[in-house]
Amino acid sequence: MRNLFGTALGFVVGTITAFMLVFPMIDLFTCDTFYEQGCEPHHNLKLFGSLAASGLGGIFAGWGAADLFNKLVGKFKRP
């Protein structure tokens, strides 16, 4: 049961982290011209890179939260 709750917690934390990282990563990769001028041909790769970076950050955050929760719950396991 603890693995299921830890996995669900990791999924929620990872999803929230990925959504929170999307717009800062777009600003970081494409600068401010993306919002003013729209998408140019070379911005497609930068946009994909920013989405991949935010998704990767979400995966690592979710994995870390699930692992931390499972280790903390495992410490309180009854003998």
Q: Domain span at residue 44? A: 2-75
Confidence grade of residue 34 (pLDDT, cut at 50, 70, 90): low
DSSP string covering 20-56: HHHHHHHHHHH-THHHHH---TTHHHHHHHHHHHHHH
Domain tally, the chain = 1
pTM of model > 0.75: yes
**Is 38:46 a contact under the CB 8 Å cutoff?**
no
Does 41 score more than 80 pLDDT? no
User: Residue 65's pLDDT is what?
Assistant: 93
Tokens of 52: 């991949």
Residue 44: per-residue pLDDT? 76
